Amino acid sequence: MDVAEKLKLAMRNAEEVVTEEELKHLIETSERPTAYVGYEPSGEIHLGHMMTVQKLIDLQKVGFRIIVLLADIHAYLNEKGTFEEIAEVAEYNKRVFIALGLDESMAKFVLGSEYQLNRDYVLDVLKLARITTLNRARRSMDEVSRRKEDPMVSQMIYPLMQALDIAHLGVDLAVGGIDQRKIHMLARENLPKLGYKSPVCLHTPILVGLDGEKMSSSKGNYISVRDAPDVVERKIRKAYCPAGVVEDNPILDIARYHIFPRFGEMKIERDAKFGGDVEYESFENLVEDFKSGSLHPLDLKIAVAKYLNKLLEDARKRLEVSV
C-alpha cells in the first residue's frame, strides 16, 4: 500500500481530519505511528461504538499501533457508576472490541487508573487547569456531559484529563466521534504550552438513532452487540427510512459505516417481479438507486438486517470462545 492508499483508508468515512496534511506527513515519516480512542466503559456496546472500532481496524491495516483507553476514572467523574461496577464493565468492553475485529497483537488496552493517579499526571492536570478558562472547559464537555445545565466540578476536570491522556500515552493520532472535537482542539492548543506535541485528530460521524433522532440509551433507538438476531431484524424493520431520503437515514448510515467497510459489497435479494437480485459494489451506487426509487426501503432494510446480523454473529461467536 502506497502513501496515497494508506491515507485514503485512514480517512475513509471520517467526518474531518485535523489536519489532512499532518496525517499524510505522519504516515510518510513514522514507521509505526500510534492512534488511540478513549471509551468510558459502557454496559451496552452499540453501533455508535462500532464506528470508532471500525476506524481503528482501518488504521491497523494502514500500520498504526492502537491504544484503547478504557477510561474508568473518566466514567467515575461523569457519574457512570462505582469503581467496582466500572471495572467489571471495562473488562467486558475489552472482550467485545476484540471480538468486533480489532487485532489484539497490534492493540494495547489501558485502564485510566493505571497511570492517571501518578504524580506527574496529576501535576499536569493542575498545570493545564491554570491555562484553561472555566468557559472553555465547560464548552468542551457540552456534547459528552451528563449534566449540561448544572455540571459538577468533576466534569470540568474531565476534558483536561482527556487532553493529557493523549500526551501521557504517547499518541500521534487522537480518534473519536465528532462530539469529541472541542476536547481535541483544547489538546491541540494547550498541550504544546506544557511541552508536549500537538496531536493529529480524526473524527468520525455520530450515528443517528433508528428513529431518525439523536441516539439515546433512554430511547432505546440503537442496536446493541447483545441484541438477538430477531431483535435486530425487528428494530431494522421499524427504523426510520423514508423512500428516497438520504439525510439522517439510519439504515443508509448502517450500510455506509458498517456493512460496506466489512463486506465490500451488498446484495439485495428480491422477487423477480420487483426487479430481481441486485449487487452493489459501492455505497454510492446503492444510494443512487435508493434516491431514484429503484431500491425500495423494505428491500434495503431486509438486506441491512441480514448483513448486520452476520457481523454481530461473528462477534458473538468470538466472545463465546474468549469466555
H and E: helices and strands count for the chain: 14, 8
What is the architecture of the domain spanning 3-204?
Answer: 3-Layer(aba) Sandwich (3.40)
pLDDT band at 178 (very low <50, low <70, confident <90, very high): very high
* Cα–Cα dist 305/269, whole Å: 12
DSSP state of 113: G
pLDDT for the residue numbered 151:
76
In this structure, the number of other CB atoms found within 10 A of the CB of residue 192 comes to 12
* 268-302 pLDDT tens trace: 999 888 889 999 999 999 999 999 999 999 999 99
Contact criterion met (CB below 8 Å) for 222 and 55: no
| Alpha-carbon torsion (170, 262, 100, 300), positive or negative | positive
**3-state secondary structure at position 175:** strand
pLDDT band at 148 (very low <50, low <70, confident <90, very high): low
pLDDT for the residue numbered 323:
45
Q: Note whether 3-204 and 229-322 share their fold.
A: no
- 86-95 contacts: CB < 8 A, separation 24 or more? 86/41, 87/41, 87/111, 89/41, 89/42, 89/43, 90/41, 92/41, 92/43, 93/39, 93/41, 93/42, 93/45, 94/68, 94/70, 95/319, 95/322, 95/323
pLDDT for the residue numbered 143:
61
What is the architecture of the domain spanning 229-322?
Answer: Orthogonal Bundle (1.10)
Of 148, 145, 141, residue with least CA distance to 163: 141
Contact criterion met (CB below 8 Å) for 304 and 81: no
Span 92-107, mean pLDDT? 92
pLDDT for the residue numbered 100:
93
Residue 35, H or E segment: strand 34-39
Contact criterion met (CB below 8 Å) for 125 and 131: no
pLDDT for the residue numbered 315:
85
Q: Taking all residues of the chain, what is their mean pLDDT, rounded to a whole number?
A: 92
pLDDT for the residue numbered 250:
97
* Cα–Cα dist 150/140, whole Å: 15
Task: Give phi and psi for 195, each to the nearest 5.
Answer: 95, 10
Domain locations in the chain? 3-204, 229-322
% of the chain surpassing 70 pLDDT: 97
pLDDT for the residue numbered 87:
94
* 10-20 pLDDT tens trace: 999 999 999 99
% of the chain surpassing 90 pLDDT: 81
More confident residue, 315 or 35: 35
Hey, what amino acid is at 318? R
Whether the per-residue pLDDT at 74 is higher than 80: the answer is: yes
* 184-228 pLDDT tens trace: 999 999 999 999 999 999 999 999 999 998 887 778 899 999 899
Full 3-state SS string of 270-304: CCHHHCCCEEECCHHHHHHHHHHCCCCHHHHHHHH
